[in-house]
Structure 1
Amino acid sequence: MKVIACVAAGLVGALAAAAPVTAADISDGVVKIGVLTDMSGPYADNVGAGAFLAAQMAAEDFGGTVAGVPIEIIQADHQNKPDIGSAVANKWYDTEKVDAITEVVSSAVALSVQEISKAKNRTFLATGPGTPDLTGKACSPVGVHWAYDNYAYANVVAGAAVRRGLKEWYFMTADYSFGHTLEEAATRVVNKNGGKVLGSVRHPLNSTDMSSYLLQAQASGAQVIGIANAGSDMVNTVKQAQEFGLTSSGQSLAALLVNLPDIKSLGLSKAKGLILADSFYWDMNEETRTWSKRFMERSGGKAPGSLQAAVYGAVTHYLKAIKATGSDDAKAAVAKMRDIPIEDFYTKNATIRTDGRVMRDMYLFQVKTPEESKYDWDFYTLLETVPADQAFRPQAEGGCPIPAK
């Protein structure tokens, strides 16, 4: 396993003299944040090196120090395996004195890291995983779920499709906790809006051959094939669905979780017309473009997806909380994160509930045709802004034992 460390540049001594608190309030004399992510698997394009870069940028933009001590960013690849992710988290917390873990795109890994973080009183900033259990039955006083969850994506996408008359659904689902919860959430939305689910088929993570699953979906006769997977699995599903003629025969594809790099992999000729939900788009306004162009200068020209930009936002807000409290104690830091409104290029006037859910607006986008796209990474047209309280599950319905305010 390769672990890369980067200490963001900064004049520690000069800034420490001006700090309102003392470095003695920070454990081990450093604020150390670990980016635990998929560096080589099906989600690597959506998080991976870009997530690590976003965390580095957040530390650098904060000045390289907080509360008079340096900020250190490290990373590791969990390979989408809960045992590997848990081993890294325990090692980081016990021997490398990591204060917070962020990203963790795999839902199964994230649930393990959430429990470890809670037991060891360390902060967990979940930006990539989709399972709503992180703010439900598995919620934590030291956990924050930042970017999205499966409930919100299914709510926005499936709701829009059913309202447009696409009422009969069949699901192709990644066979692990992320895919299961995404299918469950979308099924709830379809049924609530008067639609019907005809069935589903599940495939292993990181599948290259989707043919047998697509044939079952095609044979169902459903109007919509709901794609409850992500990353390279989603890309393979859409490509092979077109090769099998599903869309030309009248069936529609509803991809329930799409990230910007996925559209780049598909190409607009194959992705055109897809309706999707997301929490961020790099080209929405001048503020998002300014930050994204800085990211692109260091990423080889790759525009940031929402899960990469989310790492920057989560790390920045965590550092603001440490600056305000003068402590990296997890419970103190997360409590302060809830008190401070979230305001940056990614998120406007958002708050964090006591169950850890960041309450942000979500967006319904449609992928442009090649003719509509005017420049590289010009992929989306905004169809609708969905307020947070309409997109996300109400706290009372999640099963989190932490009382709401």
Structure 2
Amino acid sequence: MKVLAFVVAILFALPPGQCRAQAITRIGILADFSSVTSDGVSTAASMALQDVPDRDRQLKVETVSADHQRKPDIAANIARQWIDSEKVSAIVVSGGIAVSLAVVGVTGEKKVLSIMSDVALPPRDRKAPTFNWTSNDQLIGLTLANYLVDNGHKNFSIVAPSTASGTALAKATSNVVTGLGGNIIEVSNYNFQGSWSGLRAGAPDATVVVFGYFLNGILDQIDDQKGRLRLAIGSPFFLTDIDKIGRSRLEGAIFATSFYWDANDATRDWAKRFVNARRERSTTPPDMIEAGIYSAVRHYLKALLEARESDADRVAEKMKQLPVDDFFAPNGRVRANGQLVHPVYIVQIKPKNDIRYAGDSLKVLEVIPGIAAQEAACGTPCPKKGACPQSSDQPDCPCPKGNACPQ
């Protein structure tokens, strides 16, 4: 476990002439340090601390970080220790559904605020303020499905894990595809021991949408059918995954992401700062987990400044009231259900010959505005895409019933 010694002074009003000892609060960052995020999450969090104005030095804020090793019991034990012994007032977690549920079980019991980077938990699993900041399977997968059908992809094979969440994602994706006029050729499943039913049928120019992380087996079949099958990745995917699997096997694949470092001037400026901050350890550009953690920690600190206390409910209220306007979520906001409204980028993996400089990995095909991505994630998009106003605040989805946009 590492403690980052970056300190931010937060405005904390005092009665005239009264002096108060400096209070300490800590933000916990839980991630898989052996995987895509590595120690970049710590760098991103420390950058957020540096970017909060240093005012009258009444509240000292630090971050602690730890590797949960993708094990729910380890994640829960660390969260409990942080809250009980280290004055942690908020926990930001990345690592999938099992780890996130374990952490939320502890934060709910202790009434501590939590921010899920890559999971959107249903209301029944929340007993304390909980936010989803960066991505989740439904947001990424269904936004991608909308884009594909709108841009000429008509025949689909869906490959998903043989789990409850995998089955639900396959069903939701099928509903989106058929609702927009596309065709579902088949749905096939795999388990995490490598058993897979395989692609049983084919169609000219079909698109295979893969959920989860069992890509190599699917790629074997797609490699054998070059020119017939196109690959789309429906789950969160990272730049480091391209190197692990091999660019030659993935070139042309399309996926959705909440952040790409080379998307615009603002993302490039922040990415340059990020790389400079950890140059001694790595020069790899940031991915969406690091970018999202920066944005989440920065916004939490702004809310802490406004609330002038670390009470979870008070800070959560301020987080929903304050606008989020940074490179990650320009003109963004936090909805009543704790979901950050932010753009989603539809990107394509470049072939080697198209790469112009280090980190030039993706071609941005389209930028989906935040509220339009939220509509797509419902699985029942509004009659006119983007018709829901940015201030739309339906508790669960912008368009949950009858495809009617709430006002």
TM-score normalised to structure 2 length: 0.81
Give, in angstroms, the shift of residue 294 of structure 1.
Answer: 1.8
Given that 1:66 and 1:322 are in contact with CA atoms closer than 8 Å, whether structure 2 keeps it comes out as no
Distance 2:56 2:154 in 1: 52
The corresponding residue for 1:365 is 347
Distance 1:54 1:156, change over 3 A: same
Q: Which amino acid aligns with 1:103?
A: V
Q: How far apart in 2 are the matches of 1:66 and 1:37?
A: 32
Does residue 259 of the first structure (1) align with residue 241 of the second (2)?
A: no
Letter in 1 for 2:250: A
Can you list the C-alpha shifts for 1:326-373, whole angstroms capped at 9, x where unaligned? Answer: 111111111101111001122111111111011112121122222222
Supply the distance in 1 between the matched residues of 2:360 and 2:397 (Cα, whole angstroms). Answer: 36
Amino acid at match of 2:304: I
User: In 2 relative to 1, CA 66–203 (structure 1 residues): closer, same or farther, beyond 3 Å?
Assistant: farther
Take 2:14 and 2:171, find their aligned partners in 1: how far apart are those partners? 48
Match of 1:282 in 2: 261
Number of residues of Structure 1 aligned to a counterpart in Structure 2: 374
1:4 and 2:2 correspond: yes
Cα RMSD (Å) of the superposition?
3.2
- The residue matched to 2:125 in structure 1 has which SS? coil
Q: 1:114 to 1:143 in 2, by over 3 A?
A: same
User: Out of 55, 67, 89, which is 1:99 matched to?
Assistant: 89
Say yes or no: does 1:200 pair with 2:188: yes
Tell me which protein shows more helix as a share of its residues. 1
The partner residue of 1:36 within 15, 21, 30 is: 30
Aligned to 2:140: 153
SS at structure 2 position matched to 1:283: coil
Secondary structure in structure 1 of the residue aligned to 2:266:
helix
1:91-125: CA deviation from partner (whole Å, max 9, x where unpaired): 22222221111032211211232233233221111
Q: 1:99 to 1:328 in 2, by over 3 A?
A: same
How far apart are the structure 2 equivalents of 1:120 and 1:162?
45
Identity, in percent, stands at 28
Contact kept in structure 2, 1:171 and 1:217, CA below 8 Å:
no
Deviation at 1:378, TM superposition (A): 0.7
For 1:271, the equivalent position in structure 2 comes to 250
The 3 A distance-change label for structure 1 pair 397 and 321 is closer
Deviations 1:9-29 (A, max 9, x none): 56xxxx57xx442599x9992
Partner residue of 1:374 out of 356, 364, 367: 356
Cα distance between partner residues in 2 of 1:380 and 1:52: 25
For structure 1, which runs of at least 5 residues remain unmatched after alignment? none
After superposition, the Cα gap between the structure-2 partners of 1:114 and 1:187, relative to the gap in structure 1 and judged at 3 Å, is: farther
Give the secondary-structure state (helix, strand or coil) at the position aligned to 1:200: strand
Report how far residue 154 of structure 1 moved.
1.5
| CA distance 1:226–1:28, change in 2 (3 Å) | farther
| Structure 2 spans left out of the alignment, 5+ residues | 379-393, 399-405
Q: Distance in 2 between matches of 1:59 and 1:65?
A: 13
Distance in 2, Cα, partners of 1:370 & 1:352: 38
Distance 1:52 1:66 in 2: 25
Segment drifting more, 163-172 vs 320-329: 163-172
Stretch of structure 1 that moved more, 171-180 or 366-375: 171-180
Q: Which residue of 1 aligns with 2:300?
A: 318
1:114 aligned residue: 104
Residue identity opposite 2:232 in structure 1:
A
- What does the per-residue CA deviation read over 1:301-342, in whole Å, with 9 as the maximum and x for residues that have no partner? 010001111000000000000111111111111110111100
- Name the SS of the counterpart of 2:39 in structure 1: helix
Structure 1 residue 66: Cα displacement: 8.7
Larger RCO (CA under 8 A, 6+ residues apart): 1
